[in-house]
Structure formats: C-alpha cells, structure tokens
Amino acid sequence: MGNVLSALSLLLAVLGLLYSAWYPELKSASEIKIPNYSDDRKPILKQIRPTYYNKALPLFLSSLLISLIILPDFIRIIYNAIILFSDKGLKSLQYYDSVKTLLVTIFILLIFFGYHLLKLALSINEKIKECKV
C-alpha cells in the first residue's frame, strides 16, 4: 500500500504543478467576455479553444483517471473498515492504518478537485459555444 501512496503522491504533485501553472489562463478563459459581433469573437475563440483542449480537458481527464485507478483500493478499504467496525465496534480502532486512511482522504479530495476542474472546463466550453453562435 505504501508503494501505491508513493506513486499517487508523484502523480498528484505533477497534477498540482500543472494546475498551478495553468490556473490563471484557465480562470481568464472561463471569465472572458464574449463580444456581440461575430467578427470580434474569432480572436477570442482562437485564444480559448487551445486552453480548453490543451489544458482544461487534460487536467480534468487526468484527475478522473487517477481517481479511477485508486477507486478499487478505496472501495476495498471502506468495505473492510465497515466489516471490521460492525464486527468489533470501537475495538476496531486498534487496526487503524494511517496509510489506508491517507489513501481514502486523497481519493475524496481528488473527487472534489475533479469536480472543480470539470466546472472550469465546462465554463470554458460554454464560452467556446458562445463564440460560435
């Protein structure tokens, strides 16, 4: 389980680094004002389309992929914890494993992060659709 957590930490570090580097551009693209005239929309579309396809979408899909990779471990850990607690009650605390708890915590935080990235990507996609109208 320690190797999984180490690999997960490395993947999340890369994801966090890319997110922090790209966030200003993602936020700017999601908040950009779309002009009323179609000719004025073309440069904006050229600006935000690559942001969507090259940054927002890959970040979201990466967080989704990492979540799916650790989902079986998450389910197994939660299932075993429920079985152990229902069998032993509070005495089950003697079997506490911080590595497993960290994996569960990381999974939950990754779901929230993925949701945030999805909202950001959908917002940029809406701006792209507005430019095409």
In order along its 133 residues, the chain shows pLDDT tens digits of: 778 888 999 999 999 999 999 999 999 999 999 888 888 888 999 999 999 999 999 999 999 999 999 999 999 999 999 999 989 888 888 888 888 999 999 999 999 999 999 999 999 999 999 988 7
114: DSSP letter: H
Entry pTM: 0.87
33 belongs to a structural domain: no
Choose among 10, 108, 106, 26: nearest CA to 59.
26
36: DSSP letter: S
112 belongs to a structural domain: yes
113 belongs to a structural domain: yes
The conformational region for residue 82 under phi > 0 = left, psi -120 to 50 = alpha, else beta, is alpha
What is d(CA 100, CA 68) in angstroms, rounded to the nearest whole number? Answer: 17
60 belongs to a structural domain: yes
| Structural domain harbouring 62 | 2-21+40-132
34 belongs to a structural domain: no
12 belongs to a structural domain: yes
For 29-52, the pLDDT digits (tens) are: 999 998 888 888 889 999 999 999
Report CA torsion sign: 50, 51, 55, 61: negative
What is d(CA 118, CA 5) in angstroms, rounded to the nearest whole number? Answer: 24
What is d(CA 55, CA 27) in angstroms, rounded to the nearest whole number? Answer: 11
Number of domains in the chain: 1
What is d(CA 86, CA 90) in angstroms, rounded to the nearest whole number? Answer: 9
126 belongs to a structural domain: yes
> Both tokens of residue 112?
């929230």
